A and B are shown apart, each in its own frame.
Chain A
């Protein structure tokens, strides 16, 4: 029996499975306030038929979607944005100022992703990405807000994972939509209601100092829940914030210890990250077979390794100079 596409929470919040690579890998969050809807992140263009199906189940018309909000413009979060703007005629796209121009003209974004994946694989994973009309794009700088039928959403600039990253505070639910800033947490790793969270240091803008600061900034709001794109609602946030700080430092230590290992850096860092996460999972009480944990972690370990190597190769003051 297939897993349900939609998970409903309180305060009109739902997670729609973006069906990205595997079930419950990436979530598209839906907020509904008195008949008006907002989507937070979009998955890829292949995720959008599932969004349409979910809206139909909830009797929400395409005309009622007021906002497509992007936490950041990595393509597992923003790849479906142009398809959304095509299908939702009244929607406006809300995006970090550093990401807005790439949504209006995605040529560089697409070229960058194609150079990593190759054209065939890119189109297989992400499909078509089209420019979005400038008139329909709203930039959301730090501490800006939008109104969803009387429900105020506050945007915080939260670098660390990416410099075009916003986290969105929903006052109604006293919760944050954190994209990738508060790490990733797969539901398969839950043990007795406690989640396992770990950082995502993927290329090319990982900045540990900013990542720590962004987590602290989120926690100053004493949120009840965080809704992660990978994957959805987590509680116990004080515990997870502490764990994220520790794990970010551990990632940095692993990277720095391999700094002078030349062409072996990749395997040294990758093996050390795997060991770290499997040990932490064991301490967490996870009893999944190791092969299953390996499979769930494989892609993140690969991306985190690439991001750490890229970070090692940057001048120390890289972000301060920009």
Chain B
């Protein structure tokens, strides 16, 4: 086996591994989305609220 073949083989395996990881991540994300059938309101504290809270405290 040439070193070129080994390198190519490993690269392929690494790509396959990464692809599997990506698939897994996509599945996990999809599961999270499917867990709730409802739309979600925007999350996180808006800038105006941070400003106001700072002012008031």
Residues of A within 8 A of B (CB): 92, 94, 97, 100, 104, 134, 137-141, 143-146, 152, 154-155, 169, 171, 220-222
Contacts and interface: CB of A to CB of B under 8 A. Distances in A.
A139 B36 contact: yes
B40 A134 contact: no
Contacts, number: 55
A127 B49 CA distance: 40
23 contacts: A100-B36, A100-B38, A104-B38, A137-B39, A138-B38, A139-B36, A139-B40, A140-B40, A143-B43, A143-B44, A143-B45, A144-B41, A144-B42, A145-B42, A152-B46, A154-B45, A154-B46, A169-B49, A171-B48, A171-B49, A171-B52, A221-B53, A221-B56
A222 B53 CA distance: 9
Nearest to A142: B43
B37 to A, nearest CB: 5
A138 B41 contact: yes
Contacts of B53: 220-221
A9 to B, nearest CB: 20
A171 B36 CA distance: 29
Contact-residue bracket for chain B: 10 to 19
Contacts of A145: 41-42, 46
A141 B40 contact: yes
Contact of B48 (A104, A137, A141, A152): A152
Contact of B37 (A134, A144, A171): A134
B45 A138 contact: no
A143 B40 CA distance: 11
Contacts of B56: 221-222
A104 B38 CA distance: 10
The CB with the most chain B CB atoms within 10 A, among A92, A94, A146, A221, is that of A221
Nearest to A93: B38
Nearest to B39: A138
B46 A140 contact: no
A137 B43 contact: no
A134 B42 contact: no
Contacts of A97: 36, 38
